[in-house]
Amino acid sequence: MNAIDTAIRSTLCGGTALTNMLAGTASVYHIRAPDNASYPYVVFSVHGGGAENITPSDLHNYVYYIRGYTQTSATNASEIHEKIRQLLDKQTLTISGYTNIWV
């Protein structure tokens, strides 16, 4: 799953509209933000899933939890959410070793 984590992080960090709202790419964290993290920031982590075991192929299905944190307003949180959605919703992640990854 490290390859998937890396692809998600790269996609989030590659979205300049998102990173401009944050304190740059250093504000995208995997699993948890450090206690001294400056707002706003984004945290992503795998939330569930695994092998499908419904076909002979090596099919896996993972659910990732991606959330934005801010201290300013609900409007700012909604804007961060929208940037994340634009980067990942119904988009394809390219990961070496996988035939097709979709989000």
- Residue 50 pLDDT: 82
Task: In whole angstroms, give the CA distance from residue 69 to residue 100.
Answer: 30
Residue 1: pLDDT band with limits 50, 70, 90: low
Given a contact cutoff of 8 angstroms between Cβ atoms, the answer to whether 87 and 18 are in contact is yes
Q: What is the pLDDT of residue 93?
A: 84
H-type helices in 2-91, by residue range?
Answer: 2-14, 16-21, 74-88
Q: Is the pLDDT of residue 57 over 80?
A: no
pLDDT band at 73; cut points 50, 70, 90: confident
The lowest-confidence range among 40-44, 68-72, 98-102 is: 98-102
Position 102 confidence tier, pLDDT thresholds 50, 70, 90: low
Return d(Cα 55, Cα 39) in angstroms, integer.
Answer: 44
Show Cβ contacts of residue 72 under 8 Å, excluding neighbours closer than 6 positions: 39, 40
Amino acid 65: pLDDT: 95
- Predicted pLDDT at 88: 94
